[in-house]
A and B are shown apart, each in its own frame.
Chain A
């Protein structure tokens, strides 16, 4: 873990800030999906791969949207997003695992599973 203070950047919504507070305070995973979607929006390229207008809110981020093909993430943007998630959550995501994550639904599920594993361990 880094020695930097554990907090979300100030531009994240009140809802995400509160969800993160609940996670840090009591390992409450109920709001983690909201945080993940806000992070996706935060790292979203300004142009989408399909030339469609880029989503402006988390409500537009449907589970079936693919990070690369639909949302225009390149491999470095995915790496940036993963790095950020590793910074705020006690998870490590390796290169093989990243490749298995194609859609936003995959990502949500993946982070949730990782956190259930890590928070189940007493030292986490």
Chain B
């Protein structure tokens, strides 16, 4: 059943990503196909076969003590705020401030406004959690950092950003691994369409450190490549895992009438979304990608669009053997020989986990405004399983009207979001 209701538009974007901090830099990197992967030295151990990550530049948040941290001077983070943040919370406060400014909103436009909500997604900070619990054990539970809990557990983003931006409409977090921030966008879209909220700030963020990355090494999910162009190469026959990443992306979603009434210039309409579940494995996708296909079909139906009207697909493809394969088959079965351009921008950014969905929706919106379609610059030899898919290596200069963004997470959680250009 389609929700017959108000239109939702995307009016602001804030980006602290491996390919740049700020929409201009990120748009340029995306258009030029320049990656943001950099060497990492994890735990000071050269034996660890993880050599690269999608790192954040201009921030120093590696220490477990916030008093050692620094961030670009254009962002204001008072001491009483930073004390309860995780490293990715610092990125997120900066991205949130950027997004509001980018939307033409002042802090007072969202503070204590009951029509404004905040939906967040992150995995929490394993690094801070580990540090705090180790300290608790060292003193046999006799004392602990009073900010230990709210700075580290899953939900730390919602707690902190809601207090900082003084959000009064709604605040919630989403935990579906690499589909988390896509879920946040989808449910934010529904809340606005249902008339419960007029505006939602949606934020995804992740730490980038040994504690956020190495658990994926234990699952054999990470690339061991040390050459960025070869390490993160979604859909390539020689792909060997993803390159982990982090950062923060915030977007402002608004009811269209509310946005236009205040003179906003929306990037695009968030025209619909769909989700599904594989019901299959804790970590692997259904081999034929049927779950993801269902999410795409539902998203298109929700947006009253057909597969033939889609002008670009931003794939979830993270550069893992299994995941890319399942998605390629799902895309073939839905799009057949339509030749729709498909790319995975994770070749450039790496895979920022919970933050991937909102980051990729932001990248799609920026490329729509910039009049281009991102390519797959790291793709050398497409996996034969991708036969028939149009995977352009280079940036294409055209402005698609309908764009899909896919995400899949642990446990077979699939989400597809539909962006549509605005006739103006």
A58 in contact (CB, < 8 A):
no
Residue interface mask A63-82, B partner, CB < 8 A = 1: 00000000000101101100
Given known pairs A11-B67, A83-B144, the reply for A3 and B80 (CB within 8 Å) is no
Contact, CB under 8 Å: B83 / A80? yes
Contact of A77 among B80, B138, B142, B145 (CB under 8 A): B80
- Which A residues between 79 and 124 are near B, CB-CB below 8 angstroms? 79-80, 83, 86, 92
Contact, CB under 8 Å: A3 / B138? yes
Residues of B contacting A2 with CB < 8 Å? 135, 138-139
CA distance A77 to B84 in the complex (A): 10
Contact, CB under 8 Å: A9 / B67? yes
Chain B's nearest CB lies how many Å from the CB of A67? Answer: 13
- Which A residues between 1 and 39 are near B, CB-CB below 8 angstroms? 1-4, 9, 11
Chain A's nearest CB lies how many Å from the CB of B84? Answer: 8
A45 in contact (CB, < 8 A):
yes
B262 in contact (CB, < 8 A):
no
CA distance A93 to B65 in the complex (A): 22
Chain A's nearest CB lies how many Å from the CB of B338? Answer: 56
For B, the interface residue count at a CB cutoff of 8 angstroms equals: 16
B424 in contact (CB, < 8 A):
no
A46 in contact (CB, < 8 A):
yes
Contact, CB under 8 Å: B67 / A83? no
CA distance A46 to B143 in the complex (A): 26
Residues of B contacting A47 with CB < 8 Å? 78, 80
Contact, CB under 8 Å: B79 / A80? no
Smallest CB gap from A93: residue in B: B143
In which size bucket is the chain A interface? 20 to 34
Contact of A76 among B139, B143, B144, B147 (CB under 8 A): B147
Chain A's nearest CB lies how many Å from the CB of B164? Answer: 13
Contact, CB under 8 Å: A74 / B80? yes
Chain A's nearest CB lies how many Å from the CB of B138? Answer: 5
A42 in contact (CB, < 8 A):
yes
Smallest CB gap from A3: residue in B: B138
- Which A residues between 38 and 71 are near B, CB-CB below 8 angstroms? 42-47
B44 in contact (CB, < 8 A):
no
Residue interface mask B69-87, A partner, CB < 8 A = 1: 0000000001110011000
CA distance A87 to B145 in the complex (A): 10
CA distance A77 to B147 in the complex (A): 9
Given known pairs A2-B135, A2-B138, A3-B138, the reply for A83 and B143 (CB within 8 Å) is yes
CA distance A3 to B142 in the complex (A): 14
Given known pairs A1-B139, A2-B139, A9-B67, the reply for A44 and B79 (CB within 8 Å) is yes
Contact, CB under 8 Å: A92 / B142? yes
Residues of A contacting B142 with CB < 8 Å? 92
CA distance A86 to B144 in the complex (A): 10
CA distance A79 to B148 in the complex (A): 12
Chain B's nearest CB lies how many Å from the CB of A81? Answer: 10
B146 in contact (CB, < 8 A):
yes
Contact, CB under 8 Å: A86 / B143? yes
Chain A's nearest CB lies how many Å from the CB of B135? Answer: 6
CA distance A2 to B139 in the complex (A): 6
Residues of A contacting B84 with CB < 8 Å? 76
Contact, CB under 8 Å: B80 / A46? yes
Contact, CB under 8 Å: B79 / A45? yes
Smallest CB gap from A11: residue in B: B67
Residues of B contacting A11 with CB < 8 Å? 67
CA distance A45 to B135 in the complex (A): 25
Residues of A contacting B145 with CB < 8 Å? 80, 83
Chain A's nearest CB lies how many Å from the CB of B41? Answer: 22
Contact, CB under 8 Å: A46 / B79? yes
Residues of A contacting B147 with CB < 8 Å? 76, 80
Chain A's nearest CB lies how many Å from the CB of B163? Answer: 11
CA distance A99 to B190 in the complex (A): 47
Smallest CB gap from B77: residue in A: A46
Smallest CB gap from B136: residue in A: A2
- Which B residues between 73 and 106 are near A, CB-CB below 8 angstroms? 78-80, 83-84
Query: Can you list 28 A-B contacts with CB-CB less than 8 angstroms, sorted by A residue number?
Result: A2-B138, A2-B139, A3-B138, A4-B135, A9-B67, A11-B67, A42-B67, A43-B79, A44-B79, A45-B78, A45-B79, A45-B80, A46-B78, A46-B79, A47-B78, A47-B80, A74-B80, A76-B83, A76-B146, A76-B147, A77-B83, A79-B146, A80-B83, A80-B147, A83-B145, A83-B146, A86-B143, A92-B142
What 12 new A-B contacts, CB under 8 Å, besides A46-B78, A46-B80?
A: A2-B138, A11-B67, A42-B67, A44-B79, A45-B80, A74-B80, A76-B83, A79-B146, A83-B143, A83-B144, A86-B143, A92-B143
Chain B residues in contact with chain A, CB under 8 A? 65, 67, 78-80, 83-84, 135, 138-139, 142-147
Chain A residues in contact with chain B, CB under 8 A? 1-4, 9, 11, 42-47, 74, 76-77, 79-80, 83, 86, 92
The 5 A-B pairs of least Cβ separation, nearest first, read A79-B146, A46-B78, A2-B138, A45-B80, A46-B79
